[in-house]
Chains A and B, each alone.
Chain A
Amino acid sequence: MAAISVNGVSRQFGSFRALDNVSIDFADGGFYALLGPSGSGKTTLLRVIAGFDFPDTGTITIGGESVESIPVEKREVGLMFQNYALFPHMTVYDNIAFALTVRHTARAEIRSRVHEVLELVRLQGLESRKPAELSGGQKQRVALARAIVFRPRVLLLDEPLSALDKSLRLEMQVELKRIQREVGITTLLVTHDQEEALTLSDRIGILNHGVLVQQGAPLDIYEHPATPFAATFLGDANLLSAQTGSFLPGAGGCSVRLQSGSTIQCDNPDVLDSRDIVCAVRPEKMHLLRSDETPEPGMNTLSATVVRHIFAGSSLSYELAWHDTTLRVFAQNNGAPLFAEGSPVTIVWHPSHTIVMNA
């Protein structure tokens, strides 16, 4: 088990920057998610850490040891591939034992280690099957068993669950988390699925165009995204553009004049530097009032019109027209009467839920 430290790593393919000065630390035993849209450089970063690719600039250390000159086969990293990459000509047993036989582990030791890990991933009894005779979920488990059986220092997973259907994916997420806890191995999961990142990891790093946009605990990033990209990629957000230079810090909080002319309050003094400001509000932080109701004093309000509501069982989401923007508001399905399409409403939220970011 070991910590990973990535310092100022850049990687260029031709004139294309796949990684741009990325620095991120992964502490020993943690579960990290690298989250970003397709093509943002997640796989490239993982391959650089694994040793399949090398950074143009910057350094990587695993367990405090610089790994530049260590080839993949000596780095002691467990890898799980998106398409499982099980050896088709070997049985489940031989697939899992591969890393141990390469290390010339004694036969009895191999037996007990393989059975131990098969028990961990709950695949006892399938030792003599070939990969072609396994279901998707079982292949997944074999791939995971194979990646951890030799007790690597870190476990790297590249979108490991994206080939599974939804119910199996949820089940495997729980399993993955359980196994990671039991083994206690530093785990780095690459995903473009924000939900997966939020439920599984202790910390998230968000990548966009090869740049590490933000890193932090899931809740922190969710509540305090640093950029509009982070706000919209991790969770849903209503973006409200502010007028240039309209950000006014005050004693109890600050005020921002939006481009539509309304002024809203926020109590976030983090951003002081910038004249160009974007505000964001999460849809579940807003609620709706009939336009003739009076909101509590001190709340932010916007007048809008209901475009439609989308029913999703336990919850509803409203689409609202506000000037020429569409806003979204989530509501619990708690028996309150629905707002009809076309009816005027007031959107209400607390100033502390206004996220202020640099544009």
Chain B
Amino acid sequence: MSDKADIQRRPVNRALPVLLGPAYLWLAVTVFLPLSAMVYFSFLSETPIGGREAVWTLSNYGEFFDKAFYRTLMWRSFRLGAEVTLLCFLFGFPCAYVLAKMVKGRWREALFLLVILPFWSNALVRIFSWTMVLRGNGVLERLVNVFLPDVGSLNLMFTYPAILIGLVHSYLPYMILTCYISIQAIDDDLIEAARSMGAGRFTVFRRILLPLALPGIMAGSILTFVPVIGSFMEPRLLGGRNGTFIGTVIEDQFTAVFNWPLGAALSFIMLGFVLIVLLLAAPMIRRAST
């Protein structure tokens, strides 16, 4: 057994640098260098442009811990991330199940096309089109009023739910695709075996589908949760004055206030919190990948 493994391992070892090299070089250049620059900025007292004098300082990091405002925002962003992830799961998992197990052939292709349609349009265009739908006297309101004239104004635009709608729309395809892949890999016989042993639909879902699809659910959750926490376009365009999150504040530091050091420091603090959350979820992620 071990002899055989040795024989197989040697050629793979030589191929490893060739296979991994390009990707890691690319990542090093595109991620590591800009990130290093940001680390550098985050310890400066001033944005080093226009000949201003900058000195080393920890005050940008201190600011976060001094002001309750940032902590509240951080908490709000994490709650947004959790809620969007949960909604994506609630909508995405059943959809992935139907795609993987219930439709076949051309219908599946057609439905898949619909799922990945959002990827085809520019994110900004996508969000702006939501403003058309959600604003007062917009498409949604008129549609609802056609059927339910008593409802009147929905007042959805520039609210928290509007942000949720926009973000779920943006990230749902990731959840559907990752769940689809892991549900599809589940043998139909397992589901039938469970049913023959007396398991109803909910038991099959809870004890067979959910654990076996966990890798896909976790992958989809991470792909949704992490970017949503730092998101700024959806909160800004759909949330208006209610759309202040840690992502929008960071963006402000770079584009409006020109306080790059603070923006960089807040980014790293956010990254730290994300890592803590992933670390706490690690046991579940590890279980999903075995």
Please determine whether B193 and A85 come into contact, CB atoms closer than 8 angstroms: yes
Please determine whether B187 and A85 come into contact, CB atoms closer than 8 angstroms: yes
Please determine whether A102 and B196 come into contact, CB atoms closer than 8 angstroms: no
Interface of B is mostly: helix
Bound Cα distance A79, B192 (Å): 9
User: CB within 8 Å of B: which of A75-103?
Assistant: 75-79, 81, 83, 85, 87-89, 98-99, 102-103
Is A311 among interface residues, defined by CB-CB distance under 8 A? no
Is B22 among interface residues, defined by CB-CB distance under 8 A? no
Bound Cα distance A75, B199 (Å): 11
B residues less than 8 Å from A89 (CB atoms): 211-212
User: CB within 8 Å of A: which of B197-233?
Assistant: 197-200, 203, 207-208, 211-212
Bound Cα distance A279, B189 (Å): 44
Given A87-B208, A89-B212, the answer on whether A73 and B190 have CB atoms closer than 8 Å is: no
Residue of A nearest to B208 (CB): A87
Is B195 among interface residues, defined by CB-CB distance under 8 A? yes
Inter-chain contact total with CB atoms closer than 8 Å:
55
Is B194 among interface residues, defined by CB-CB distance under 8 A? yes
Please determine whether B187 and A73 come into contact, CB atoms closer than 8 angstroms: no
Please determine whether B197 and A85 come into contact, CB atoms closer than 8 angstroms: no
Bound Cα distance A78, B190 (Å): 14
Residue of B nearest to A158 (CB): B189
Please determine whether A99 and B197 come into contact, CB atoms closer than 8 angstroms: yes
Given A83-B187, A89-B212, the answer on whether A102 and B198 have CB atoms closer than 8 Å is: yes
Bound Cα distance A76, B190 (Å): 17
Given A88-B212, A89-B211, A89-B212, the answer on whether A103 and B190 have CB atoms closer than 8 Å is: no
Q: A75 to chain B: closest CB distance in Å?
A: 8
Cβ-defined partner of A150 (8 Å) among B187, B197, B203, B207? B197
Given A73-B198, A98-B199, the answer on whether A79 and B211 have CB atoms closer than 8 Å is: no
Cβ-defined partner of A72 (8 Å) among B187, B195, B203, B212? B195
Is A231 among interface residues, defined by CB-CB distance under 8 A? no
Mask, A60-79, CB within 8 Å of B = 1, is 00000000000111111111
Please determine whether B192 and A52 come into contact, CB atoms closer than 8 angstroms: yes
Residue of B nearest to A143 (CB): B193
Residue of A nearest to B192 (CB): A52
Please determine whether A102 and B189 come into contact, CB atoms closer than 8 angstroms: no
Residue of B nearest to A99 (CB): B197
Is A207 among interface residues, defined by CB-CB distance under 8 A? no
Q: A54 to chain B: closest CB distance in Å?
A: 14
Please determine whether A78 and B196 come into contact, CB atoms closer than 8 angstroms: yes
The residues of B with any CB-CB pair to A shorter than 8 Å are 187, 189-190, 192-200, 203, 207-208, 211-212
List 16 interface pairs A-B (beta carbons < 8 Å), by A numbering: A71-B195, A73-B195, A73-B196, A75-B196, A78-B196, A81-B189, A85-B187, A87-B190, A87-B194, A88-B190, A89-B211, A102-B199, A146-B197, A147-B196, A150-B197, A150-B198
The 9 lowest CB-CB distance pairs between A and B, nearest first, are A99-B197, A85-B189, A79-B196, A85-B193, A72-B195, A102-B198, A89-B211, A81-B189, A102-B199
